[in-house]
Structure 1
Amino acid sequence: MVPTASHDDAGDWVVVGRVGRAHGIRGDVAVDVRTDEPERRFADGAALRTPTGQLTVASSRMHSGRLLVRFEELADRTAAEAARGTELRVFVDPEETPADPEEFYDHQLVGLRVVTTDGAAVGELLRVEHHGAQDLLVIGTDRGEVLFPFVSALVPEVDLDEGRLVVDDAPGLLDLE
């Protein structure tokens, strides 16, 4: 539902993938893709930020349903194996929005008022945490932070123009009582 990202005052560094296992002997790696735009994010010459620096895409291709990428900085299989698990990010301008109207970048969501489907105030969206199985909304309430699953069945409406995010409170998720 949300391309993964971390908040930055000048925009977002969006996670677009994670380096997987090495493929072959020349430094190619499989990439666990976390973007709907792999052809754009992993285009030849694309610079991706990592926790320790940068990786530059030399080439990319699909192979057996997986994206294989060769990075200029990974010269051989040993370097590729050492990079396994590395998070890959790209900078997204604060004015940019995802092509799909049902997707949002974190910087668009942080600060929205959170209300229930019946209009009861819950709090303010502090951040989005990205986990393998699903994303979680971190909502600041009068009683502290609450983690809420960010799935369309429980978050039926995101209204950026109104600055509001609507949640369908299933028993036990918000514990507002």
Structure 2
Amino acid sequence: MQVVVGRISRAHGIRGEVTIDIRTDEPERRFAPGSSVRVGEQEMQVRSSRRHSGRLLVQLEGVVDRTAAEALQGRTVSSEVDPDEATGRSDEFYDRQLVGLEVVLASAPDAPVGRVTAVQHLPAQDHLVVRVGTQDVMVPFVEALVPSVDLQTGTVTVVDLPGLLDPDAADEVR
């Protein structure tokens, strides 16, 4: 499966390096020399990558000058990732592992109430976007509200807190 790992921001210098806006937790792995990435619709090899002033600079095979690097500006960079690949930690998940999981309440684990449709990475914390009926609800992805994620059963357990999955119910509680 192709996963977006970055976006080419701009050219750097005259030898064809590009700056990458990183969209992965593993830039050292995804942009390692010799790795293959898709830039737009084109498959390319990473020749080198390095950090410079807090940014990731990448040299791609075939991009030998500033003009060629500038032609790539704004393109997304994706990488082939095994869908079964895990983070290696039981309390961390890739977005692709969470999207599609059924959402159940802690008080009724056998009755799905929604489905995770996206993960949003906001400054304060991550949020799960849960489709409940015809509306999307954002649930802060913190242990106090989402006590468990079970990839084997395909479920995310959410606490049964009035208003969490039904914002209209929050007004009734007050």
List 4+ stretches of structure 1 deviating above 6 A: none
The match for 2:26 is 37
State the partner residue of 1:78. 67
5 Å-filtered alignment, 1:95-134, equals: 95-119=84-108, 121-125=112-116, 127-128=117-118
RMSD: 2.9
Q: Which of 47, 53, 61 lines up with 1:64 in the alignment?
A: 53
Higher Rg of the two aligned structures: 2
Which consecutive residues of structure 2, in runs of 5 or more, have no partner in the other structure? 170-174
Check the 8 A contact 1:47/1:90 in 2, yes or no. Answer: yes
Structure 1 residues 175, 130: CA separation in 2 closer, same or farther (over 3 Å shift)? closer
- Matched with 1:175 is 167
Mapped partners of 2:82, 2:66: distance in 1? 34
What secondary structure, in the 3-state scheme, does the structure 1 residue paired with 2:68 have? Answer: helix
Q: Distance in 2 between matches of 1:139 and 1:73?
A: 43
Corresponding residue number in structure 1 for 2:142: 152
Identify the match of residue 7 of structure 2 among 18, 32, 35: 18
Higher relative contact order (CA 8 A, sep 6+): 1
Cα gap change, 1:69 to 1:174, in 2 (>3 Å): farther
Tell me: CA distance 1:102–1:18, structure 2 relative to 1, closer, same or farther (3 Å).
Answer: farther
Offset at residue 20 of structure 1 (A): 1.6
- Structure 2 residue 83 is matched with structure 1 residue 94: yes
> Residue 173 and residue 57 in structure 1: after superposition, are their counterparts in 2 closer, same or farther (change >3 A)?
same
Instruction: Identify the range of structure 1 (75-84 vs 52-61) with the bigger mean alpha-carbon deviation.
Output: 75-84
User: 1:69, CA displacement in angstroms?
Assistant: 0.5
Q: Kindly tell me the number of residue pairs found equivalent between the two proteins.
A: 164
